[in-house]
Structure 1
Amino acid sequence: MIAIIDDDESVRVAIESLIRSFGFRTSVFASAEAFLASSNMPQAHCLITDVQMPDMSGIELFDVLRARGAGLPVIFITSFPEERVRRRAQEGGALGFLAKPFDADTIMGFVFEALRSRPRPH
């Protein structure tokens, strides 16, 4: 399952439609808090999250996940691609950092990379 978090409904719907068109299951959330509270969180194989959201930002969510030991691949999307934020995300191990608008091929390339890099069960 690919989790998509963005406070902008039109962005959530667009990314969800794209991901589903490739046959993947998705789960969408309007906030980082909603994702963290969701019973779907453990099933996520990849996370696509906006950087700037009310309350908890995507970067703060990333920090929480890492503190919990979650090795979930994370792809950040943002309308405000600040270099300092990009660096922080990359240093933390983010898979991708994309400025909106981005093209479908670019984000799907990161999704496929995330799914290829997942540890396989024994």
Structure 2
Amino acid sequence: MPTKRPLIAIVDDDESMREAIKGLMRSIGFDAVTFSSAHDFLSDPDIHRTSCLVTDINMPGMSGLDLHRRLVALGKSIPTVLITAFPEKNVRTSAFGSDIVGCLIKPFDEQILYGCILSALALNSKGDSSS
């Protein structure tokens, strides 16, 4: 029986950033899907399979922080890594819950992102043990 690989969802309006993170995630051995907007991610029928969300903070329409708030309001706790090219506009993420596992400034080191993903998956596995 094949092992179920973690699914990493990447939400960023910058296509080159989405594709770069997707390629990295796949090279590490994760499944990865990309979305150009928060609305696209929220309407994905496989949203429940997401093990970790990597989302840009500053996007047109719904921001990454708004996406996180919406997920929390819907009762969907997905460990999340926030990324931004505009750190001066960044707000304190500690107020947004324990499921925010990192806030990275573009360009960021791939190893730091990988560490955040591992933290997210560790959070997920704690949540799965009760089911």
Same fold (TM over 0.5): yes
Q: What TM-score range do you get, normalising by the shorter chain? A: over 0.9
User: Would you say the 8 A contact 1:47–1:74 is kept in 2?
Assistant: yes
- The answer to whether residue 92 in structure 2 is matched with residue 120 in structure 1 is no
- The answer to whether residue 103 in structure 2 is matched with residue 111 in structure 1 is no
* Corresponding residue to 1:36 among 39, 42, 58: 42
Whose radius of gyration is greater, 1 or 2?
A: 2
* Corresponding residue to 2:94 among 66, 90, 112: 90
- Range with bigger deviation, 100-109 or 90-99: 90-99
* 1:17 shift after superposition: 0.5
Q: Which runs of 5+ in 1 are unaligned?
A: none
Name segments (4+ residues, structure 1) moved above 3 Å: none
**What's the secondary structure of 1:110's corresponding residue?**
helix
- Count of residues in correspondence between the two structures: 120
Q: How does 1:1-122 map to 2 (within 5 A)?
A: 1-82=7-88, 85=91, 87=92, 89-93=93-97, 94-118=100-124, 119-121=127-129, 122=131
Counterpart CA distance in 1 for 2:80 and 2:90 is 17
Give the aligned residue type for 1:116: A
* 1:52 shift after superposition: 0.5
RMSD over equivalenced CA pairs, Å: 1.2
Q: Which runs of 5+ in 2 are unaligned?
A: 1-6
